[in-house]
Each structure stands twice: as C-alpha cells, then as structure tokens.
Structure 1
C-alpha cells in the first residue's frame, strides 16, 4: 500500500513539473497567447506530441534546427512518457523493464511525430490565415488517433483490435480536461496560472494512471486480429490531404452568391453607393445587382467605362495590395458616377481587401465599411518562399506537399504560396494587430460568426462595433438577421451586438491555438512599428 501511494505521488509530481515549468517561462516573457498550451506537456498521447510539434514547426529557422529539435523532442518525449507509464502501471500486473518502456516510448514518439506532423502543419496554416476550418481540421484527428496511440507505449499488440470503450472515454476526457484547463488559464491573471497548470498536471497524472490500466487490463477486445490502428492512421493521413480541398468548399467561398444586398433594392433612406467584395475562390458572371447603387467588386478590374469585369475564382488569389489598387479605382469610378459616398461590404478575403484599402487610402469617398467574416488576428505564423531559409521553413514544405496532393481533384488550385497568402504573411504585423481597428472618418462594423471566436487567441480582438451571430465562416452574408442590420447600418443606425458566449468560446479554444511566432524574431517583420498582441493581449497599438 505504501509503495502504491509513493508511486502515485511520484507520478503526480512528474506530471505536474513540466507544465508548471513551461507556464513559468511563458509568464516570465509575458507570452500571453501561448499560455493555454502548457498543460499539454504531460498529456496522454497524442496531445503531448501535438503540443511539441506545433512549437517546433513554428519556432525553427532552418532544416538543421528542425532536425535537431525533432531529435531532441523525440528523445525527451520518449523518456518522459516512459517514466509516466512506469509510475502509472497497475500494481496487480507485472510491469516490463524500464528499458523496454523507454525503447517502446521512443519508437512511439518518433512514430507519432510522423503521423501527427501533417495536422500540426495544418494548424500553422490556420495560424497564418486565421480560418477556423483549418483549426477544426487539425484538432479533430487527435480525437480519432488518441485511443490507438494511448495503447502504443504500453502494449506490443496495440495496433490490433478496436480500442475499448474505456480507452475511448478516457481519451475524450483528456481532451475535455485540456480544453477546460486552457480556458481557465486564459481567464486567470499573471502568476496565478501556475497553480492552475499544477492542477492540470495532476489531472494528467490521474489520466495516465487510468489509460495505462485500460491498456494493460482491457475489457474484451473486438476484432482482435484486424489491424485497426494502421487502417485508422492511414485514413487519417489521407484526410490530412483531403482536408484542405474540403475547407474551401465548407468556407462558402466557392462560386457566385447573390445575397439580398445584391438581389434586392436598397431602401431610399440609404445614402450610400455600395461595393460588395466577395471572398476567396468566388466568381462573378457580370450580372448586375438589382439596385444600380450597388456594384460587385471585380478581382479582374474595370472595363473602359469604369464598370467591373466578370472574373473567375483564380483571380481572387492575387495579393491583397493589388486587390486594394483595383478597389481604389472602383471606388473612384463609382463615386464619380453616382455622386454618393461609398460604403464597402467585404466577406472573408473581401473584408481583408477592404481593410487594406482603408489603410493605404485613408482619405477617400469611402465613409462606411462592413466586414463579414474577416480573418481575426491572421499572420501569426510564417514560412519563407521556396528556395529561402527562415522561420517555419519545414512547415512551408509540408504544407506545399499537402496542398499539391489536395489540388489533384480540384479545378481551381490553391497553394500556400499564392500571392494572397504571401501578402498576409509578409504584412502579418499589420493584419495581426489592426484588422479590426477603427479608421478615422469611416463608420465600421464587423459581422462575426461565433465560430470565429476560436480564430483568435484570448485577448482583445476588435475595437470596432461587432454583430455576432451563430454561424460558420462565410455563413452570415445572406442571413436575414444580418441583412436587416446591414440596411440599418447603411441608414446611419448604431449597431453593436456582441454575444456573451463569444468570449467563452474564445477561451475554450485557447488550448488548441498554435503558438504565434513573435514579431520581433522574424527579420521580415522586425522593422515594423506594430506592437505584438501575442505578448500584450491588446490590438491597435504601436510598438
């Protein structure tokens, strides 16, 4: 009995110390946006490896640094999990030698690094463009893989048979604990996060005890001769490739949309002429809006009469600056033609084009802007162009491989180096800090779907009025409730309708945010005068 108690105490100490140590470092350097990751240091597989790889893919600046870091992480992870497994081993069952556990867990750490790396890379794609679909696509596979990998470091035949219902339950509980711990840490000021991390470490230790027992003493194994784990892993890896193809469709940017502002006339009380800027991979066949005061923005530019040209989806892949130049010409043409002040309505990429235009052309005839599903705090990761070294170089090549395979069945190809994405990466300090900041002389509002709460790390995300509604990214434009607010806003009404659950969802997503790359580290960004919200927790501030 005394031995069992001492082993439990040692298990809890080993599970507590690493999260507290990481939390101490993060607090000491005021790394506000990454605090929610610390409890995952001693989480059960695969959340521990997912934690390691997100840090490594964001914070390496050469192939050599990545390989050295990977070897170091695999070694540390193998030793740590071997120790946790040994201390969590049920007293009623003979335990293998510690040497066997070390060798087993080193192999599992290396194997986990290979199969989890694509998902960690997708999480960095999310960090670059702040599109919640990438975050969901990178986290959900962890739930699928967890019941399999939690057996891998404990038993030799882990790859055969379905995991027990107990193993599935403990893995889901581990995810819930890590999510809750991240939310509490995000809500806790200063050094008080250390005891919270300590409690999360205790929970990790207890979960190690339960999962090891469930692996060693399983209930009846279903399909004991079937290699279920390899099949699940292969399907998950294939899904990593297919995920980016599905994301474009799910985000609602494909094809041409005709929301009410396009298909219906505006009330007479609206004084503006309106330019509607669609999102990534959208298209337009040239069909005019029902109201002559409303025009679509064309990513193809204007014709000789100053009218927008039809465009195809590939045209939306141009850089933000070049789109803003086209928008400036369109604003001038529409203002001259109508004599009215101009309002901009942009969705997703279109919202970012509108914000870029307002920054580069601060004194124009545009006096109102509505941003639907803007990218919230994008530009938190970086990878250099092909042929260059720099922060995130391996992550960039991993994303290129994933997108190349995912593009095979697609007519409109997307890739991580297209001008739109690279313009976000290059101008990341501005987009990270000022996307939802006010512009002098312009009435502004952001229409935010509640799913975008997971797109920003805990902290300030907007200093302009917001209208929030339960929806997915790109799902607000066309909703009647939102359209009514659009007309009211254009008529001069003050609209500001945040939802209380938005802040809660933002905090619940804290544990699964990739660590942002510090602005001061990247030479591409270091000359900027922007402050870094990752460390201040605030936006719209100069360095």
Structure 2
C-alpha cells in the first residue's frame, strides 16, 4: 500500500474509532438521549471542542473537577487533532514533525476551549428553558468561527487573513454532515448505534482531509496582514448580545391580547377562560370583551376580584408562587360565573397552568390549551450562587457572567437565578417528563410551533392531542386558523394536526443539544426520580415521586 493510502486508511480508522467508542459506552449505560453527540467526537474544529465543552459543563460537580476536566480535554483534543492533521496532510506539501503539530494544536485546543465555552454554556441555557434562540445563539458563532480555527490548526499565520471560499464551503459541509449524522445515529437501533457512529466518524476523516488540504493549498490570502481571527471572535461573542436585544420585550402595556380576548365568546363555549401570558409579558388591566374571560395576573387580584395590571418583571417570580395566584383567580372566576374553567396558556403560562393542575387535583379547571409550551425543560442543572459545589457549578457562574453582559440596559433582565428559572431547575423531574401528559378530568391540547422540534431532544410520542404549526415560539396564538381550532376545542371537538417534517426536525436537532443530566445523579432531584439505573431512559408520564 502506498504511503498516502496508508495515511488515509489510518485517518479514517482513527476518526471512526473515537465516535464508535463513545457511542458504545452510551449504549452500554443506556444513555439514549446523548447518542446523537457521538459523531462530533472526531469532528473538525471547532465542533469537536463544542462537543467536549458541553459534556464538561453538564458533568462536573466541583471547581476541581471542572478545572482538571478542562485541562484533560484540552490535552486529549490536542493529541487527537495533531494526529488527524498529520494524517490528513496533502502529499505534495512538506509536512512538519508531529511534535510541531502537537505544540501548535495544544495552543489551538486551549484557545478553542476558551472561545467555545460561552457558546456551550448557551446550549446549557437552552436545555434549562427549552428555547431555541439560546441554541441558535450558540450555533451561529460556531459556524462563523469554523473556517478560521481550521486554518489555525495547520499553520502559524492562520490567525491572519481570510479563509478561502473552498474552506468556508467545507466547514459548512461539516455542520451539515454532523447534523445529519446525529439524527441517524440517534434513530439507529441500539445494536447498530456504534457502527453507524463509526461511519459518521469516517466521514469526519474525509472532511479533515479536505479541510486541511483547503487550508494549506490556499493560493491567495485576502487581508494577509489583518488579524482577522480576534475580530471574528469578538463578532461571534456579540451574537448572544444581539439575540438578547432582539428578544427584549417592547414597551406595550398589554402584550397578550389574542382574538379570544378582544371578542365575545361563542355561545357553544361552556367555559369561563383564564388567559396566561408568557415570560416578560405585561398587562395594563383592561377587561376582556367577554365577562367570562380574564387575563391571569402575575401580581394577583384586586379587592373586586379583577386581575391587577403587571409589568414584565412580575413574570420572573417562581412557578409555585404564580400557581398560588392562579389558584385564587381560578376559584374566584368559578364562583362568579358558575362555569367550569378553561386555561389558555402560552410559554411560561403553560408552566404555571401545569403547576396549578399538579398542586390542585380538585381544581375546577376542565380544559387546558397550551400554546408554545416549553418542552422537556430542566434537562441540565447548576446550583444557586451561594453553593460552592454541585453539578454545573462552573456553568452557573459562566452563565451569570454572560447574562450580566448581554442584558446591560435591559428594562426587565432575565437572570440565570431568577425564581422562574430556579423553579425549572429544582423541579426538573416534573417539568422534564410530565408537562405534556394527560391530567384526569381535564381536556388538553398542545399547539406546537415547528421550531419546538429543535428545542428539545426527540422522545416518546405525545400522550395528548397536538396541533403542529409552522411558526416560531409564541407565534401561533394570534393566527386565524389557530383561533378557529381553539374555539372548536373549547366547544368540545377533539383536534389533532401533525406535520410530516416535525419528527425529522427533532432528530436533526439532536446533535446540537447538550447532554442531559441524569435525574438520579443529582441529589436535588433524586427523591423524585423513578427507580432504575441512572442513565436509562425515564418513562414520560410515568410516576414521579414527590420531592
């Protein structure tokens, strides 16, 4: 066999062996939700570091474990990357000794870890609240940084000048291949998961070969003296700030006024309605068009039983306190109207409604329509700031720093430790596995935007009727078709509308989720965990012990 062919065979073998080994371990311990991450174990920069940092940020429970894990991962990643770069080196270009490549890749691995850590932390935030914009705020910088970091791993001057169009194209293909591979690996039967991961790893090997070749054989470098990489890193770090600004609530006094609020209820609707808005909503106290309809107030009722106006910061309270306010409002509306109650909830409002139904089994609520529910929240954890240890202790402080920077000037800043977020973290066994489960005596339906498919890993089929709508989070409730379907549901009809693309989108998003923290591993959750091995799949809608 010719030397170039031997090097190619070794490149493919190493690139395939690492994901296969990770997939084999995940299969043996029954950690199904994380199997889609395995192909990234041998991916081209920076997706390999993104893979490592997500595992580290979830699975450390002390500063010592985080620091030693970070140094260990940098060292292992440098050794592996140097080997892959050496084997991928084109034959017509003089190849430096492995030691020189190793030294260079140690620096690149360390720099890559530092750069990637903030974006990996955003993926943890996405796992806590199940909001896709956090995930997109992590992935867009990865795609922006990829071709620049790939040049740095092969040459000293890689931090200056622009990468070639060819290298940019290969880096985009990296992302596409990893996305597809994650979905395929997750979907494969358990016995086939390691071999499929090996095939995905071999594809990584081919991408390493082409990326290194494109980086080395670039004939013309634009802006050869300009330190482009630091500029790109700053631009990448600005992505979360831009995302936060774009998601900042407006100055409206009433941010939740769906058609059912502004029009009288049809006679065929037998319920009195409570409308629950989402996070950072506001309400100016104006009454609904129908006396049988009220907006839920995050600050409670006045002496006359009318919901009080509230501002955005009122929605940051804990779910338990919001649930108590909802209980008082539901009881008051039920006494006044004599009607059964239906809850129409969106986003955080869904969490409040489900907490109420969990804590109040004798509630007069008989119907619940959930718009853009937060699905499978609380998949990761970090302790409160006064805790010196705990799973994700470093992650919590990294998120606090990032949110402090990205919410400068915000009128109602969201923080990683606000009571609403801590409710999701502390109550994860319920909110992760019980949100879309049937409640005895309550008719239910969930309106799911297609973007939800990227917000949570795929799991068991829904146990309640769902209506899947091509929309972004919070973008369904005002649509005419959604209003008609809601009225039909309130009038007693059973509605279900699924879309073919929803399932495939769930699987394609699997590669970019953070690995979930096993319920039984975390002492905060252990009392509410189902029995069994720590990493085996927990049954959705199964018994959850009270914490």
The residue aligned with 2:257 is: 258
Give CA-to-partner distance per residue, 1:167-212, whole Å, 9 cap, x none: 0110011111111111111211112011111110110000100000
Aligned twin of 1:160: 160
Q: Which residue of 2 aligns with 1:535?
A: 536
Offset, 1:480: 1.0
How far the C-alpha of 1:401 sits from its partner, in A, is 0.5
1:316-371 per-residue CA deviation (whole Å, 9 max, x = no partner) reads 00000000000000000000110100000110000110011011111221000011
In structure 1, distance between residues paired with 2:217 and 2:343: 63
For these two proteins, the number of residue pairs brought into alignment is: 542
Q: Which residue of 2 aligns with 1:55?
A: 55
Partner of 1:343, secondary structure, is strand
Equivalent-residue separation in structure 1 for 2:114 and 2:252 (angstroms): 32
Q: Deviations over 1:287-344 (max 9, x none)?
A: 1111111100000101111111000111000000000000000000000110100000
SS at match of 1:157: helix
TM-score under structure 1 length normalisation = 0.97
Specify every segment of 5 or more residues in structure 1 that has no aligned partner in the other structure, as ranges. Answer: none
Q: Show the counterpart of 1:186.
A: 186
Number of the residue aligned with 1:297? 296
CA apart distance, 1:253: 11
Superposed counterparts of 1:231-270, under 5 Å: 231-249=231-249, 256-270=255-269
Question: 2:344 matched to which residue of 1?
Answer: 345
5+ long unaligned stretches in structure 2: none
1:287 maps to which residue? 286
Tell me how far apart the structure 1 counterparts of residues 220 and 121 of structure 2 sit (CA, whole Å). Answer: 36
Pairing of 1:359-508 with structure 2 (within 5 A): 359-388=358-387, 389-460=389-460, 462-508=462-508
Distance 1:448 1:468 in 2: 5
Cα displacement (A) at 1:462? 2.4
Query: Does the aligned pair in 2 maintain the 1:164–1:218 contact within 8 Å?
Result: yes
Distance 1:515 1:445, change over 3 A: same
> C-alpha distance in 1, partners of 2:17/2:399?
34
Q: CA deviation at 1:257?
A: 2.5
Report if aligned partners of 1:33, 1:534 keep a CA contact under 8 Å in 2. Answer: no
Q: Do 2:133 and 2:243's aligned partners in 1 also have CA atoms closer than 8 Å?
A: no
- Partners in 1 of 2:262 and 2:324 — Cα distance? 27
**How far apart, CA to CA, are the structure 2 residues paired with 1:505 and 1:190?**
21
SS at structure 1 position matched to 2:281: coil
Shift of 1:254: 9.5
1:466 Cα deviation after fit = 0.4
- The list of structure 1 runs, each at least 4 consecutive aligned residues, that deviate by more than 6 angstroms after superposition, is 531-534
Q: Distance in 1 between matches of 2:398 and 2:66?
A: 13
- 1:537 CA drift (Å): 6.4
Contact 1:377 1:431 in 2 (8 A): yes
Q: Deviations over 1:131-164 (max 9, x none)?
A: 1111111111111000101111101111111110
Q: Distance in 1 between matches of 2:152 and 2:253?
A: 41
Per-residue CA deviations over 1:20-39 (Å, capped at 9, x if unaligned) read 00000000011111000000
Question: Structure 1: how far apart are the matches of 2:157 and 2:312?
Answer: 49
Partners of 1:113 and 1:461 lie apart in 2 by 37
Aligned residue for 1:509, secondary structure, equals helix
Q: Distance in 2 between matches of 1:3 and 1:97?
A: 16
| Structure 1 counterpart SS, 2:159 | coil
Paired position in structure 2 for 1:277: 276
State TM-score, norm by structure 2: 0.97
Deviation at 1:531, TM superposition (A): 6.7
SS of the equivalent of 1:239 reads helix
Aligned to 2:313: 314
8 A contact 2:12–2:205 mirrored in 1: yes
**Residue-by-residue CA offset, 1:365-401 (whole Å, 9 max, x unaligned):** 1000011111100000100001201000111000000
Q: Is the 8 A contact 2:254 2:284 kept in 1?
A: no
Pairwise CA distance, 1:242: 4.0
* Alignment RMSD: 1.7
Q: Does 1:218 align with 2:218?
A: yes
- Which residue pairs with 1:6 in the alignment? 6
Q: Is the 8 A contact 2:128 2:424 kept in 1?
A: yes
Contact 1:182 1:510 in 2 (8 A): yes
Q: CA deviation at 1:116?
A: 0.8
Cα separation, 2, equivalents of 1:247 and 1:188: 37
Q: Which moved more, 1:40-49 or 1:532-541?
A: 532-541
Kindly state the Cα deviation for residue 528 of structure 1 after the two structures are TM-superposed.
0.7
**How far apart are the structure 2 equivalents of 1:122 and 1:531?**
31
| C-alpha distance after superposition, 1:424-464 (max 9, x if no partner) | 10000000110000000000011100000111212226211
- CA gap of 1:129–1:248, structure 2 versus 1, over 3 A, is farther
SS of the residue 1:76 aligns to = helix
Given the superposition, is the C-alpha separation of residues 454 and 54 from structure 1 closer, same or farther in structure 2, using an over 3 Å criterion?
Answer: same
Per-residue CA deviations over 1:98-146 (Å, capped at 9, x if unaligned) read 1110000000000011111100001000011111111111111111000
Q: Distance in 1 between matches of 2:349 and 2:368?
A: 11
Shift of 1:243: 3.2
